[in-house]
Amino acid sequence: MTRTWPVSGPADAAGARAAVTRAAARCGVPAVERARLAASLAGRLRHCLAKGGTWVLTLELPSAGPAAGSLRVVVTPPRDLVAAGEIPWEAAVTAPDAAQAAGTGAEGAVDLAEALLDADEDTAAVLDELTAQEALVAFHREELHQTNQGVLALHAELDAAGRAQRTAFAAERRARKEAENARRRLTFLADASAVLNASLNLDEIVRRLPELLVPSYASCVDVWLFDDESEQVHPASHAAAAVRAARTGRPQYAASHPGGLPGVDDHPPSALDPRRPLLCVPLLTRQAPLGVLTLSPPGERWAPDDAVMLIELARRASIALDNARRFEHNRDIAQTLQRALLTELPHIPRLSLAARYLPATHGLNIGGDWYDAFRGPDGSLITVVGDVTGHGLHAAVMMSQLRTALRAYAVDGSSPGRLLTRLHQFLHHLQPDLFATAVIARFHPDEPTLTWAAAGHPPPVLRLPDGRVRILDAKPGAMLGIPLHQEIADHTEPLAPGSTLALYTDGLVERRAQGIDPGIARLSAVLGSLRGGELDADPDASADRLLSPLLSDSERDDDICLLLCHLHG
């Protein structure tokens, strides 16, 4: 249902307002909502009267029914004001009792008077509601006043607790920072120790020390190593603090101000560079000091914990340097022993010999691989290549004993198989926990055959004069020294002039990822590619050309031994 009223004067405005208010009352709109609607509508009607012209007020009543509806009021401006940009005004309220909307009719003078009285009642209801709200506000104000003192007291307690918490947070941050610095120092110390102990080369350790410390913990690093005792007693141009550290064995701090570093003696600034503080830490071992590590701080000075870490690093560097010196000393001994054990090959008519020994690239560069060649009592040439398990001086000593025993056993003219059988018995009784492999080949000038025997060793490889290659893989004996009784058999092979026999150890042909068979095949292929003329002319160069394609890796985990025996054509 829709009703309209033209509004052109105050009387029209008052009548329309009264009609809307009474319609809202009949539709069950609460008094407070009616008062708000009436006040809002009155303000709009005053605006209409001020603008002038005939406005139209439209009242849209809800449809009659049990459900709540909506009462909507629209005030439409005249056409000239619409053209000037004036827009309609509207308002809507919920009508809980939509069934009474049908009773809304035309308004007379009596209805207008009653509407005015009803408006006063609505105003009174609004005032009563306002009074109740003011009483509620006063109650809450009094309640707030009553609790204000407690809030102030609680605020004071919270402020005190906040200050305590900030103090605790600051202490926690300091502790966390100290813990992080400690973790950083320990991580650096562990990483630096791993780097220093990864090498047994003295020069490399001395080179890596400055790389580790600069620029995080030092701006300059000097490593002074004593080459002999006289240098420690009569040093060259080194700071006085470094000399004192070498003589007393205590760290020294040389600067114009005290360092306050734990376990470090303060010392006047160095005359060599008075403006630069120096921390001189002796590199000590159990036997004697190795030298002095001299550092300059990255800033003005070191923190005490950094100084403690640097002293500990110097101690670990001392151990690494001492290990490197011991290793170099033992390596020199090992190399001297190895050179003494290598056999000088004999000169045999119509037979050329070439031997190569390459130590492993790790360890003491000495192992149990060996070769030997010597004349037998019947004029034959006995050649042997062997491999004692293990590395180091012990394996080299056992190899020497086996070589000596083999030469002794060969005096009675025994065959290669008989010689290996006696070596097996000798090693089993001498060193029950040590094993060896070996291959022996005998060349006789009056016999066109080759006699050979092997015990747990890679098979010999024979190059025929026409370039074909044969692998002499007849069944070998077991390893020498194992707890097993064995009689190692001899094998014979026709030997024509121009033939070449290669005896070798497993380090030449065996690779971890491939096994030994592919390596023997490669050796056979390279040996077959050599020309007979160059084998006759220069067997040593032929041995090098044979090794070159087989040693593609610079790192070797095992020793390599090769003995070439070439019968001239």
CB-based contact 496:507 (threshold 8 Å):
no
**Structural contact between residues 561 and 366, judged by C-beta atoms closer than 8 angstroms:** no
Q: Which pairs count as long-range contacts for 125-131, CB under 8 Å and 24+ apart, including other chains? A: 125/31, 125/32, 125/35, 126/31, 126/32, 126/35, 129/32
Backbone angles phi, psi at 475, to 5 degrees: -55, 120
Where do the domains of the chain lie, and which CATH numbers do they carry? 2-131 (no CATH), 202-337 (3.30.450.40), 343-567 (3.60.40.10)
Contact 195/212 with Cβ under 8 angstroms?
A: yes
Query: Three-state SS across 402-467?
Result: HHHHHHHHHHHCCCHHHHHHHHHHHHHHHCCCCCEEEEEEEECCCCCEEEEEEECCCCCEEECCCC
Q: What is the CA radius of gyration of the chain?
A: 55
Provide the token pair at 550: 């087989």
Residue 220 burial by Cβ neighbours in a 10 Å radius (0-12, 13-18, 19+): middle
Instruction: Name the DSSP class of 78.
Output: P
Q: What residues of the chain score a pLDDT lower than 50? A: 104-106, 230, 233-234
The DSSP bridge pattern shows strands 351-358 and 252-254 to be unpaired
pTM: 0.54
Q: What is the pLDDT of residue 117?
A: 64
Buried residues in 65-101 as b, exposed as e (16+ CB within 10 A): eeeebebbbbbbbbeebeeeebeebeeebebbbbbbb
Closest CA to 293 of 386, 190, 379, 209: 209
Q: Would residue 439 be called left, alpha or beta, if left means φ above 0 and alpha means ψ between -120 and 50 degrees? A: beta
In contact, 478 and 460? CB cutoff 8 Å: no
Residue 101 confidence (pLDDT): 56
pLDDT for 422: 95
Model pLDDT, residue 63? 74
pLDDT at 107: 54
In the β-sheet with 55-60, what is the strand arrangement from edge to edge? Answer: 2-7, 55-60, 69-76, 89-95
d(CA 407, CA 374): 8
The Cα–Cα gap between 151 and 162 comes to: 16
Exposed, middle or buried, 533 (CB in 10 Å: 0-12/13-18/19+)? exposed
